[in-house]
Amino acid sequence: MQKLIAFSSLILFLISCWDFRKPYKPPGKVWGYKPVFSNDSSLLAAKALGPQPVTHPAKIYVKGNLIFQNDLGSGIHVIDNTNPSSPRRIGFIQLRGNSEMSIKGNYLYANSFTDLVVIDVSDWQSPTEVKRMRNAFSQGYAVNYLPFIPLPEHNTYYDCGYSQYHGKIQTGWARDSVYQNCYYP
Amino acid sequence: MRFRKIIGLFCAAVVLLPACNKESTTADASAGTGKGGSLARFAISGNYLYLADYSMLRVFDISNPVNTVEKNSVPLSFGVETIFPYKDKLFIGATQGMFVFSIADPAKPVSLGSIMHLRSCDPVVANDTISYTTLQGTPRCGPAESGLYIYDIKTVTTPVLKKLLPLSTPYGLGLVDSVVFVCRGDNGLSAINVKDAADPKIMYTKKDGFYMDVIPYDNLLVCYINTGILVYNASDTKNILKLGTVNY
């Protein structure tokens, strides 16, 4: 009897060392979208668009009768608050990789990915980028994970984190097999 | 009675005059600096732009905007999130504490003092003697108790916690005279009377959206909510009035 208990205990003890979890598998590749890049750095420059739909609303800023709001990764919405009872959208400054802003006089200071950009806004209808300082703001990396260009379809995986890669600028998406690193709901 | 009327008229004039001014400045909106929310990482003071980078305070001379130059960078503790300029000081909110810098020499920020707290998310606003921080303890932010933390900064080298007012889900905040407005997501926008900093009192909580951040300026509160921008008239902080919204 004692021998049997000792033997069973030994077996149980040995079994306890066995790893019952499923063996580790790296995340597989699935169908999704990968970014398409261009080397044309002029695509980065700030430019004015008419009022745009809001996709990733973020920080706010006020100056005079204008309210500004970042759209994470894509630019800055401009809202006219001359009549606070009915504020209205009057424009959008497209600035890729944007998440922060501040204004003094006729100049807007904002980030474009990790670059600090100075934009002359004396005419809101035609903002002009007058200075770009490379890698002056490392926190701009955070916005890289957001799709600057909307994906062609919802409920899909996409290759994220590379909207600006080694100086190249994303211009679109291509269907491809990608790692399951980001999901577009 | 007559005297009261005159006082009444005078008050009305005081309230209305800035409004008139505001109309007349429409054409000349170019002068001066704007105002950011409490969650901002960029701040301009005088001819200098300060960036609260992850573990670095970066200083840029913008006296000639087209020739903006980086003047300095001061190492900070990790997890810097927000920057609030007030007079000759910068208040920096980090996940581990609040840091106060002197910018008496604007190109060379000098650390004056700091107060550490449990890891959390934490925008700051301040006046001459008191600074207000909301800390949010969440799985992402850290384990601190959520609430409005009121620090005595009369001796700025050693800020002292005067009072903690527990509040659920605090985000950005704004200060108007002796009232702190705290954005609390879908728990509303709470107006807190801080006339006695040791005994803050919630006066009321507005629930017109999911509040993220607020900028008080020109008798207005500009709020960033989950459905758009919401503007209140805050000339009477005891009773703010919803003026308009612009939706996403």
Of A13 and A72, the structure prediction assigns the larger pLDDT to A72
Q: In whole angstroms, what is the distance from residue A142 CA to residue B96 CA? A: 20
Q: Residue A50: is it exposed, middle or buried by C-beta count within 10 angstroms (0-12/13-18/19+)?
A: exposed
pLDDT at position A167 is 66
The pTM of this model reads: 0.82
> Going by DSSP bridges, is the β-strand pair B42-45/B48-52 parallel, antiparallel, or unpaired?
antiparallel
**Domain-located, residue B21:** no
Name the CATH architecture for the domain at A29-184: Beta Barrel (2.40)
**Domain-located, residue B17:** no
Question: CA of B42 to nearest chain A CA: how many angstroms apart?
Answer: 6
Q: In whole angstroms, what is the distance from residue A52 CA to residue A79 CA? A: 11
Number of domains, chain B: 1
Question: CA of B198 to nearest chain A CA: how many angstroms apart?
Answer: 30
Q: In whole angstroms, what is the distance from residue B124 CA to residue B19 CA? A: 28
Do the beta carbons of residue A99 and residue A85 sit within 8 Å?
A: no
Angle (nearest 5°) at CA B47 between B133 and B180 = 20
CB contact under 8 A, B53 and A139: yes
The terminus-to-terminus CA distance of chain B in angstroms comes to: 50
Residue ranges of alpha helices (H) inside chain B are 2-24
Which residue among B40, B217, B245 sits closest to A59, beta carbon to beta carbon? Answer: B40
Domain positions in chain A: 29-184
CB contact under 8 A, A62 and B222: yes
**Nearest CA among B106, B100, B103 for reference residue B129:** B100
Tally of CA atoms within 13 A in the half-sphere of B76 that contains its CB: 36
- A64 to chain B: which residues are within 8 Å by CB? 25-26, 29-30, 34
Q: Range of B241's domain?
A: 33-247
pLDDT at position B18 is 39
Per residue in B158-213, pLDDT (tens digit) is 889 999 999 999 999 999 999 999 999 999 999 999 999 999 999 999 999 999 99
**Domain-located, residue B236:** yes
CA nearest to A68 within chain B:
B36
Q: Across residues B62-85, what is the average pLDDT?
A: 92
Instruction: Tell whether A37 lies on the interface with B, counting CB pairs under 8 A.
Output: no
Q: In whole angstroms, what is the distance from residue A183 CA to residue B14 CA? A: 55
Tally of CA atoms within 13 A in the half-sphere of B153 that contains its CB: 27
Give, in order, the Cα–Cα distances in Å from A72 to each of A10, A57, A62, A149, A172: 60, 6, 17, 12, 18
**Domain-located, residue B22:** no
Q: In whole angstroms, what is the distance from residue B39 CA to residue B141 CA? A: 14
pLDDT at position A2 is 73
Which residue among B33, B41, B58 sits closest to A104, beta carbon to beta carbon? Answer: B33
Per residue in A113-150, pLDDT (tens digit) is 889 999 999 988 899 999 999 989 988 877 777 777 88
Instruction: Tell whether B27 lies on the interface with A, counting CB pairs under 8 A.
Output: no
Which of helix, strand or coil describes residue A120?
Answer: strand
Give, in order, the Cα–Cα distances in Å from A102 to each of B40, B115, B119: 9, 27, 27
- Interface with B, mutate which of A80, A102, A128 (most B CBs under 10 A): A102
Of B247 and B116, the structure prediction assigns the larger pLDDT to B247
Angle (nearest 5°) at CA B158 between B157 and B162 = 135
**Domain-located, residue B64:** yes
**Nearest CA among B183, B190, B163 for reference residue B223:** B183
Do the beta carbons of residue A25 and residue A179 sit within 8 Å?
A: no
Mean pLDDT of chain B: 86
State phi, psi for A55 to the nearest 5 degrees: -110, -50
Residue B137 has pLDDT above 50, yes or no: yes
- A107 to chain B: which residues are within 8 Å by CB? 62, 65
- A137 to chain B: which residues are within 8 Å by CB? 51, 53, 58
**Domain-located, residue B52:** yes
Cβ neighbours of residue A20 under 8 Å, at least 6 residues apart? none
Structure tokens at B153: 């900064």
Instruction: Tell whether B65 lies on the interface with A, counting CB pairs under 8 A.
Output: yes
Mean pLDDT of chain A: 85
ipTM: 0.84
Per DSSP, B7 falls in state: H
Q: Which CATH number covers residue B58?
A: 2.120.10.30
Q: In whole angstroms, what is the distance from residue A11 CA to residue A13 CA? A: 5
- B31 to chain A: which residues are within 8 Å by CB? 105
Q: Across residues B240-246, what is the average pLDDT?
A: 96
**Domain-located, residue B104:** yes
**Above pLDDT 90, what percent of chain B?**
67
CB contact under 8 A, A102 and B32: no
- The CB density around residue B130, as the number of other CB atoms within 10 Å, is 20
pLDDT at position A111 is 95
pLDDT at position A53 is 92
**Domain-located, residue B127:** yes
For residue B80, the one-letter residue type is: V
Per residue in A10-32, pLDDT (tens digit) is 666 666 655 555 555 556 788 99
Instruction: Tell whether A51 lies on the interface with B, counting CB pairs under 8 A.
Output: no
CB contact under 8 A, A63 and B33: yes
